[in-house]
């Protein structure tokens, strides 16, 4: 670990002085928590030269695991006391997860329609970074928690990018962009092993005044099979298994979150045809050509949107009843503002682009139309046309 720490210090000493402003993209996970607390400590202890400004941007997707969100907000408060500027970055109201799903009718994300990550996390952070670039009038240094061993795909990208376009990974992973770019990027803890990360979060960071032990607990504590697990949104239906939530529920103080296990089955249910609308085979592109999938399934019906909303609110209520009884933090998957906005969008009959709400329900049997316009008629007519 001493060598890992030394390399991080060398990295920040080499590249940090080239920029007047530093920004940390903070997700609340273990690696970005390592970066924000380590950088704050190294500056406070005089080991590295402080920039003119250090800003931490916390990406609040509104879908984070409650223990991680609580720990992240606690760390932000501790950073503020040390003079670090912090900012919580939220998606616009209409683009938040449940507002977009139940208010506009967009079905739950899936691997071939993964609308959630860019919309509730990436794009809001990019907008916040662009605002800082405009305010500073120059490029800044963005620090990230990217680390080798966290993702095989990411490791491959790192290997391919080393020594290309100004990038190098001997001291962290430094990526120099064009002069007009928002920021150059440095991953100062690229080389840290996961055991070093846990040592820092469990022992060193708390010793220096940061409340990071809870983060290690969320990731699985001392259970070696869980300790390197990656976390994501609550009940993420894009993962084969919600390991993060299952790990949290094994901790006695968080077992009241068990009703959230109903999110994944709810998303799976809402993807079924009888909850959605379908094009009837006449859908065409702007140039007049028949659409590639002229009978594609689309948005949630109004009934499905109201049903899904009621189910999430019911889970939220059950969790918060348990929270009050135990003196634990309550959750607001759908807060008052979002609830009101969902109801307003439903009342206004809002639908996704190129959908009107007058389409047929997706479980209604009609002749099949394929991309070249060939029609396959029904062999049998069912009463009402419903399967």
Structure confidence by residue, pLDDT tens digits, 255-298: 999 999 999 999 999 999 999 999 887 777 777 777 777 778 99
Q: Is the pLDDT of residue 189 over 60?
A: yes
Burial (CB count <10 Å: 0-12, 13-18, 19+), residue 206: middle
Res 384: pLDDT: 55
Query: Do 137 and 180 contact (CB within 8 A), yes or no?
Result: no
Res 231: pLDDT: 59
Query: What is the C-alpha to C-alpha distance for residues 38 and 219, in angstroms, rounded to an integer?
Result: 19
Strands 276-278 and 297-300: antiparallel
Q: Among 54, 125, 120, which Cα is nearest to 93's?
A: 120
Res 226: pLDDT: 45
Res 242: pLDDT: 82
Query: What is the C-alpha to C-alpha distance for residues 189 and 46, in angstroms, rounded to an integer?
Result: 19
Three-state secondary structure string covering the chain: CHHHHHHHHHHHHHHHHHCCEEEEEECCCHHHHHHHHHHHHHHHCCCCCCCCEEEEEEECCCCCCHHHHHHHHHHHHHHHHCCCEEEEECCCHHHCHHHHHHHHCCCCCECCECCHHHHHHHHHHHHHHHHHHHHHCCCEEEECCCCCCCCHHHHHHHHHHCCCCCCECCCCEEECCCCCCCEEEEECCCCCCHHHHHHHHHHHHHHCCCCCHHHHHHCCCCCCCCCCCCCCCCCCCCCCCCHHHHHHHCCHHHHHHHHHHHHHHHHHHHCCHHHEEECCCCCECCCCCECCCCCCEEEECHHHHHHHHHHHHHHHHHHHHHHHHHCCCCCCCCCHHHHHHHHHHHHCCCCCCCCCCCCEECCECCCEECCCCCEECCCCCCHHHEC
Q: Is the pLDDT of residue 227 over 60?
A: no
Cβ neighbours of 347 (radius 10 Å)? 9
Query: Do 92 and 62 contact (CB within 8 A), yes or no?
Result: no
* DSSP structure class, residue 386: B
Name the residue with higher pLDDT: 242 or 209. 209
State the average pLDDT over residues 112-126. 91
Find all residues with CB under 8 Å of 76, minimum gap 6, and list them.
26, 56, 58, 86, 88
Give φ, ψ of 175 to 5 degrees: -125, 110
Q: Vertex 194, ends 191 and 198: CA angle to 5°?
A: 120
Mean pLDDT over all residues of the chain?
87
Q: With the C-alpha atoms ordered 213, 253, 73, 259, is the resulting torsion angle positive or negative? A: positive
pTM: 0.85
Res 215: pLDDT: 86
* DSSP structure class, residue 87: E
Res 311: pLDDT: 98
Q: How many CA atoms lie within 13 A of 252 on its CB side?
A: 1
State the average pLDDT over residues 214-221. 76
H-run or E-run covering 276: strand 276-278
Query: What is the C-alpha to C-alpha distance for residues 108 and 267, in angstroms, rounded to an integer?
Result: 6
Tell me the CA distances in angstroms from 248 to 54, 69, 205, one per residue in order.
32, 13, 21
Query: What is the C-alpha to C-alpha distance for residues 10 and 168, in angstroms, rounded to an integer?
Result: 14
Res 255: pLDDT: 95
Retrieve residue 273's tokens.
């045809």
Query: What is the C-alpha to C-alpha distance for residues 36 and 99, in angstroms, rounded to an integer?
Result: 31
Lowest-confidence pick of 103-117, 314-328, 356-370: 356-370
């Amino acid at each position: 670990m001493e060598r890992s720490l030394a390399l991080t210090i060398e990295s920040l000493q080499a590249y940090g002085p080239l920029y007047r402003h530093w920004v940390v993209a903070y997700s609340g996970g273990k690696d970005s928590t390592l970066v924000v607390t380590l950088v704050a400590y190294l500056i406070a202890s005089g080991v590295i030269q402080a920039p003119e400004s250090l800003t931490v941007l916390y990406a609040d997707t509104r879908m984070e695991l409650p223990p991680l969100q609580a720990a992240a907000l606690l760390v932000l408060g501790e950073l503020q006391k040390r003079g670090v500027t912090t900012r919580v970055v939220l998606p616009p109201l209409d683009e938040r997860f449940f507002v977009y799903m139940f208010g506009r009718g967009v079905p739950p994300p899936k691997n071939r329609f993964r609308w959630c990550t860019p919309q509730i996390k990436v794009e809001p952070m990019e907008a916040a970074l662009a605002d800082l670039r405009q305010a500073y009038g120059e490029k800044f240094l963005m620090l990230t928690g990217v680390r080798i061993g966290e993702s095989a795909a990411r490791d491959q990208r790192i290997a391919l990018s080393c020594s290309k376009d100004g990038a190098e990974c001997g001291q962290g992973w430094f990526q120099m962009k064009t002069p007009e770019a928002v920021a150059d990027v440095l991953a100062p803890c690229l080389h840290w092993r996961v055991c070093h990360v846990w040592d820092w979060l469990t022992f060193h960071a708390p010793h220096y005044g940061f409340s990071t032990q809870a983060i290690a607990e969320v990731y699985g504590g001392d259970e070696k099979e869980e300790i390197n697990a990656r976390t994501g949104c609550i009940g993420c239906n894009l993962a084969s298994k919600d390991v993060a939530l299952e790990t949290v529920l094994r901790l006695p103080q968080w077992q009241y979150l068990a009703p959230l296990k109903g999110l994944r089955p709810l998303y799976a249910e809402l993807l079924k045809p009888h909850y959605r609308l379908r094009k009837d085979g006449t859908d065409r592109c702007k140039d007049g050509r028949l659409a590639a999938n002229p009978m594609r399934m689309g948005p949630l019906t109004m009934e499905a949107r109201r049903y899904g909303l009621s189910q999430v609110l019911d889970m939220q209520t059950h969790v918060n009843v348990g929270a009050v009884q135990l003196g634990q933090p309550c959750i607001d998957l759908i807060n008052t503002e979002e609830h009101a906005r969902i109801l307003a969008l439903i009342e206004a009959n809002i639908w996704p682009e190129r959908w009107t709400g007058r389409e047929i329900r997706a479980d209604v049997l009609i002749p099949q139309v394929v991309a070249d316009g060939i029609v396959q008629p029904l062999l049998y007519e069912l009463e009402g046309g419903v399967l």
